[in-house]
Amino acid sequence: MFQALPPPPPAIEAPPPERSIATETEARVAAALTEARVKVDSSFRGAAIVLYGAVFNPDDAPTDVVVVVRGPDEPLRLVRKSRNMGVWLNSRPVLFEGAPGFYMTASTRPLGDIADFGQLRRLGVGVDHLRIDAPEESRSVTRYGVRDVVVSRLGEDYLDWRRAVIRLKEAAALYDTDPDGVEFVDRGLFRAEIKLPAVAPTGRYYAEVWLFQEGAPVSVSNLTLTVEKVGFERDVYEFAHRRPWTYGVLCVLIAALMGYGASKVFRRP
């Protein structure tokens, strides 16, 4: 996990924000973060970053703002417990890919009211539309004469598994859906808060700020956020991963020396 792969691109490539005179006739959103780098040091207990932005809306039609933040992808393995002869046993682990290590949405209204299912699915907005998937479980079969139909070995339980991924991440405060997390502080001026728990993965985060009008996205602003270990925390982490054997020997030596030292200090005269 040390040399992390380059982070995946956001779910959809958004056009660069318009900075032309078109602004005067088209609705547009612009946003910024109070902090673009989150430093993880020994006092890190999570962080709250404020995202603020402005909506330029020349024709006064009602607009909705949706903020989506996704962290680096983290494949994860899930087991299901089942009872066999009175004992709870684990199933074979299932590998899920495409699940970001952190994901949150904040919006002015519940996502379902802002845009329809297809639109959200296409943009990959909302936990239900994340492309979480168990590729090792799927295979192509021919069904009803149709070739290359992808089915999952998990069968009908597939949705249960996928929902469990989201539920477990939500329980760890890594996934969050806040239907009124975007708050308008003034006409055209909004803010939203990104709450990173202490267990949030390090790496590059992508924030997308979507502007919806009548159920369709009209503008997007893309931001990035970096969460990284700094100072002592980073040094220890890098040492442990670059020279793992030296690190291990050092740990043991320190432990033995401390034990030795204590017995000398406490020796009765």
Partner 1 sequence: MDIYLPIAEVSVNWPLLVLLGATVGFISGLFGIGGGFLMAPVLVFLGIPPTVAVASQASHVVASSTSGVISYSGKGAVDYRMGGIMAVGGAVGALLGVELFRYLRLLGQADLVVALSYLVFLGSIGLLMLKESLTAIIQRYRGDAPPRRDRRRPLWLYGLPFRMRFPRSGLYISAIPPLALGVFAGVLSAIMGVGGGFILVPAMLYVLRMKAGVVVGTSLFQIIITTAITTVLQAGRNQTVDIVLSMLLLVGGVVGAQYGARLSGKFRAEELRAALGLIVLLVGIQMGLELFVRPSDLFQLAPGIAD
Residues that bind partner 1 in the complex, under the rule CB under 8 A: 1-2, 40-46, 74-83, 86-93, 95, 160-161, 164-165, 167-168, 171, 198-199, 201, 229, 232-234, 236-237, 240-241, 244-245, 247-252, 254-256, 258-263, 266
Q: For residues 187 and 267, which CB has a smaller minimum distance to partner 1 in the complex?
A: 267
CB of 51 to partner 1, least distance (A): 23
C-alpha distances in Å from residue 2, one per residue of 5, 85, 237: 9, 41, 9
> Across-strand partners of 67?
106, 209
Q: For residues 97 and 183, which CB has a smaller minimum distance to partner 1 in the complex?
A: 97
- Cα torsion 190, 167, 75, 245 to 10°: value is 100
Q: How many CA atoms lie within 13 A of 218 on its CB side?
A: 24
In the sheet with 37-40, reading across from the earlier edge strand, the strands are 37-40, 216-229, 203-213, 63-70, 103-107, 175-178
CB of 235 to partner 1, least distance (A): 8
The pair of three-digit structure tokens given for residue 74, joined into one six-digit string = 């983290």
Query: What is residue 173's DSSP assignment?
Result: T
Query: What is residue 133's DSSP assignment?
Result: B
CB of 79 to partner 1, least distance (A): 5
Q: For residues 4 and 216, which CB has a smaller minimum distance to partner 1 in the complex?
A: 4
CB of 95 to partner 1, least distance (A): 8
CB of 261 to partner 1, least distance (A): 7
Q: For residues 18 and 233, which CB has a smaller minimum distance to partner 1 in the complex?
A: 233
Q: For residues 87 and 185, which CB has a smaller minimum distance to partner 1 in the complex?
A: 87
- Taking a C-beta distance cutoff of 8 angstroms, is the pair 29, 222 a contact? no
